[in-house]
Structure 1
Amino acid sequence: MSFRMSSAPSGMGVADHTKAAFMELKRKKVYRYVIFKIDEQKKEVVVEKTGGPAESYDDFTAALPENDCRYAVYDFDFVTAENCQKSKIFFIAWSPSISRIRAKMLYATSKERFRRELDGIHYEIQATDPTEMELDVIRDRAN
């Protein structure tokens, strides 16, 4: 099987519904999180799962596959030391150490281009195991 990176100059395309789901999370707070996956047949990033505003961070992490890569955005609500309600959007590149090497490479090479499509991300986290994206890590980054 020949595998040429040159045929995909900067990774995958981005489906229209993918950007729309992100905008609904960002502007309308329709979702707490959106999980994206690369559809290798279509060569684009698509929405795999969304979580409603009432879903918790645990619901979000449980929705990520334990042995495959994904991109995700999470809308983190918190209260500052000054007692202000704030919200920060996290981009999470989930690449578990036990996932296939091909998947890790595909997600790594497509990440920057995909991330640029999502305007309004505050923080980015690269996680290879669940401890690297625990709620404490998110909370520390947001404050």
Structure 2
Amino acid sequence: MANAASGMAVHDDCKLKFLELKAKRTHRFIIYKIDEKLKQVTVEKLGEPDQSYKDFTDSLPADECRYAVYDFDFITAENCQKSRIFFIAWSPDVSRVRSKMLYASSKERFKRELDGIQVELQATDPSEMDLDVIKSRAS
């Protein structure tokens, strides 16, 4: 079903891969792209479970918007192993205005399709989502 605000549909694969990440932990991260020709959000890249946060950030284009989900593992102050699922809206300052508007107007509806997101981040440059930011938001 298309989003009334932006006309974007969400490809079934987007939800399927997210469920795999959440339930089976078969992916470390997922990068989503809006395909303007198809008018839908699609899966652009899947991260293997053993890939690092740097692998994830290196997978984001420097000059184009994306949505991303990252499964962050960490150890609490009480020495408990935990995990948080981050939703990151990546919108670099240098990306096209039209693209930024499209991603911004489609974000809330797309996020609702992914049931189980625990932390949301909006980033316009890599420093806004570096590992220290992720760690501080996870706990």
TM score, norm. by length of structure 1: 0.94
- Post-superposition offset of 1:8: 5.6
Whether the 8 Å CA contact 1:10–1:113 is kept in 2: the answer is no
TM score, norm. by length of structure 2: 0.96
For residues 40 and 115 of structure 2, what CA distance do their matches in structure 1 show? 18
Counterpart of 1:10, as a letter, is: A
Q: Percent identity?
A: 64
State the SS of the aligned residue for 1:23.
helix
Count of matched residue pairs: 137
For residues 127 and 95 of structure 1, what CA distance do their matches in structure 2 show? 6
Query: Does 2:53 match 1:57?
Result: yes
For residues 24 and 141 of structure 1, what CA distance do their matches in structure 2 show? 23
- Post-superposition offset of 1:9: 1.4
For residues 1-143 of structure 1, the aligned pairs below 5 Å read 9-11=4-6, 12-143=8-139
Listed one character per residue, the Cα deviations across residues 81-112 of structure 1 (whole Å, up to 9, x for unaligned) are 11110000000000000000000000000000
- Post-superposition offset of 1:42: 1.0
- Post-superposition offset of 1:10: 2.8
Structure 1 stretches of at least 4 aligned residues deviating more than 4 Å after TM superposition? none
Larger gyration radius, structure 1 or structure 2: 1
- Post-superposition offset of 1:78: 0.3
C-alpha RMSD of the superposition = 1.1
For residues 91 and 13 of structure 1, what CA distance do their matches in structure 2 show? 18
Listed one character per residue, the Cα deviations across residues 47-67 of structure 1 (whole Å, up to 9, x for unaligned) are 000000100000000000000
